[in-house]
Amino acid sequence: MIQQNVNLRAFNTFGLGATAEYYTLVKEEDDLRAAIEWAGEKSLFVLGGGSNILFIGDVQGLTLHIATRGICYSEDKDYHYVEVSAGEPWHYVVMHTLERGIGGLENLSLIPGQIGAAPVQNIGAYGVELKDVFHSLTALHLPTLETHQFNLSACRFGYRSSIFKTTAKGEYIILSVKLALAKSHTLLRAYGDIEKTLEQMAVVEPTAKDISRAVIQIRQSKLPDPAVIGNAGSFFKNPVISPLQYALLKSQYDNIPSYVQPNGNVKIPAGWLIEQAGWKGKQVGHCGVHAKQALVLVNYGQASGKELLKLAESIQHDIAACFGVTLEMEVNVVG
C-alpha cells in the first residue's frame, strides 16, 4: 500500500522528523517490484533500519521501507552458509547463528541496522569486517528490474565502502546477502577491550558466544541506546593517514593510538582526535557529542538534522585545523 506524507521520525535512530512524499512498507520482493513500477519517474529512497541516516529535509518521491524477512542455512565441508533477506536486523542474524553453534559474526554483535545495508557500508567492528564473512548477494537492478548476483570481488569492498556506495550508488536494491562462516573459525579476542572484558567476566577459554557477550558489554558501556537518546552510532570514519603524516603526529602526541594497515598506512581513531580537540561531552543547542564516546553525535530531543550537520562540520573543521586530518562522515545525509 502506498501512503502519502508519512513522518519518518520513528524510522530513524536519530529520531529526526522528515516527511516522505510517498511511502510503502516492503515485505515481499513482488511488493518491491510493484512499488517501483508504480513510482514510474519518481525518485526512490531505500530505507532499512534507519541507523545510518541523517535527515536534513523531507524526502521526495517514493520511500521504500525494506522489511523482508528470512534466514536459510546450508553447508559444505569447510563452511556454513547463511542466506538472509535484506530486512532482517543485523544483530538478530548474529544471535541466530550463535544459537546454532556457528561462529564468525560474534565480533560484529550489536551493530544496528539491517543486513541489506551491511554490504553498502562494509560494516565492521573489533577487527572484523563484513567482507571477511561475505560470500555473495542478490540485488535488484533498478533500470531493468533484473536480479543480479555479486560475489566478493564484484562488491569492491573498502573501508566502510563498496560499489553500492560509489560507482553503482542508486542503481541497485539489495534483496539478500549470503554469508560464508568457516567451520575452522578462529576467535579474535585481541582487538580493543575484548581481552580485558573477558578477564572481568572471568572467562578463561572463551567461546564465540563469550566474545559476543564481551562485545555487547563494551558497546553498551560506551554507546548510547537510540531508544533513549537519538544517535546513529559512529558518525565519522576512522581516518587512514600516510606513515609520514603519522610520524609527524606521533612526534607531537606520543600517546596517539594507531593501527598499521596492510599497505603501510595508519588508521587513527576518530574518537581520540575529537576528544583531544575538546569536543567530547560538549552540547551545542539541542545536539552534542556523547560524554562517553566522542565518535557519537546525539540528538537531545529537539535537534534538527541541519543542526547536527552543522555540528559535524564544526568538528571536521577543528580536526583539520588541529591535526591536519580530514574526517569523513560515515552517515548518509538525506534531504
Would you please indicate which residues are annotated as catalytic (active-site) residues? Answer: 160, 234, 330
C-alpha cell at 81: 552458509
Cα-Cα-Cα-Cα dihedral sign, residues 21, 22, 25, 29:
negative
CB-based burial label for 5 (10 Å; 0-12, 13-18, 19+): exposed
- Phi and psi at residue 93, to the nearest 5°: -65, -45
**Cβ–Cβ < 8 Å for 295, 270:** yes
CB under 8 Å, gap of 24 or more: what pairs does 221-228 form?
221/292, 222/292, 222/293, 223/290, 223/292, 223/293, 223/296, 224/290, 224/292, 224/293, 224/296, 224/298, 226/13, 226/14, 226/15, 226/51, 226/112
The DSSP line for 103-138 is -S-GGGTT--SBGGGHHHHT-EETTEEGGGGEEEEE
Question: What Cα–Cα distance (Å) separates residue 220 from each residue in 2, 194, 214, 223?
Answer: 37, 13, 10, 5
Q: How far is 101 from 99, CA to CA, in rounded Å?
A: 5
